[in-house]
Amino acid sequence: MPATPQTPTERVEQLFEALTAHYGAGDDRELRAAAKLLLVALDKIRSHGGHNWSGLLDEYVHIVKHDPERFARMLQSNSSRSSGELPA
């Protein structure tokens, strides 16, 4: 039986685990792996986000800082296999 396709968020989580393993037992390995993913994400947002890419970034940072429940819902909805669910 074929494996169930992973959502994009699940694939990023898997990449994070691989990066964390790459850093071995080093100090702050989870932080280093997350920072590496963030650097790539920032480059992609800047490159493909149009003229207001920094506004989009500011909006996400605001949500993370000031509405962690909404952020958690956004992550959960983006991890869903159901295409009927919308981000918060």
Residue showing tokens 């963030």: 38
> Domain range for residue 35?
8-79
Does residue 87 carry a pLDDT above 70?
Answer: no
**Tens of pLDDT, residues 24-81:** 998 999 999 999 999 999 999 999 999 999 999 999 999 999 999 999 999 888 776 5
Q: Does the residue 42 lie in any domain?
A: yes
Residue 82: left (phi > 0), alpha (psi -120 to 50), or beta?
Answer: beta
The number of folded domains in the chain is 1
Does residue 82 carry a pLDDT above 60?
Answer: no
Residue showing tokens 């991890």: 79
Q: Does the residue 88 lie in any domain?
A: no
Q: Does the residue 2 lie in any domain?
A: no
Q: Does the residue 73 lie in any domain?
A: yes
Longest dimension (CA), the chain: 45
Q: Does the residue 45 lie in any domain?
A: yes
Name the DSSP letter for residue 27.
Answer: T
3-class secondary-structure state, position 31: helix
Does residue 16 carry a pLDDT above 60?
Answer: yes
